[in-house]
Structure 1
Amino acid sequence: MARPGLEVADIFRDHGPAWRRAHAGHVSLGQLQVMSAIENCRSAALGGHVEACEDCAHTRIAYNSCRNRHCPKCQGAAARDWLAEREAELLPVPYFHVVFTLPAALADLAYPNKAVIYDLLFKAAAETTLT
């Protein structure tokens, strides 16, 4: 597969430092680690190895992957495979994706009362869908 002209890593490398400064204190350590992993994936920063053809002696450097589950380079093929498997499970009928959410004003009430609030939400969603 050909490398796309622009990757998430390119955007992170070009604009990440300024974005990190602008959002300092509002981004978790985990999020910063993911950004760093994606920026460094398949680059000299993670090291690499030399691949050599035994027939023609052609060599090339292959840089190591970050293996981060959020990385589009590392997980792109797995995500495409997963989607293909899910699509194969679909029935040959039209589908509609419907999302039911709670108003933001109920968030503080819902968090400590998950069982009750979400039970009500699911009942209301089912009634609405059936209606």
Structure 2
Amino acid sequence: MPTWHTDRVDLLGDSAWCLTLYSGMGASSALAGADLLGTSLQRNPDNITRALREYDQRLRPFIATQQHLGCKDGLPMFVPQTRRDITVRTLVQRLTSNPVGKRVMAKAIAGQFKSKSVDIAAP
């Protein structure tokens, strides 16, 4: 959809962007979206149209990233398509089943979570 709002009516959560299970960000995105909407309305109390436009413009890139990563990174972990996917998933499960492996994996994949920990409502 080119926009999630018309006049004073706005789509929220899955009705607007519907992330897949594979992104692992459905509830988090709904909460982030609600926070951003509240913040946008608070910043623009006399101009709801502007608040909704700001909400849409700031949230859309975040949601697009989560949708892309869900297809790129999440799908092979949840639904492996190749032998390589199965091997990687098995290896990750084995590594994270002990404390040392958890620490190693946490450091190895920490960079992948930067896009998931953005405060989209921050100025």
TM-score strictly above 0.5: no
Bigger fraction of residues in helix: 2
Higher RCO (C-alpha under 8 Å, 6+ residues apart): 2
- What TM-score, normalized by structure 2, do the two folds share? 0.29
Larger radius of gyration: 1
- What TM-score, normalized by structure 1, do the two folds share? 0.28
Bigger fraction of residues in strand: 1
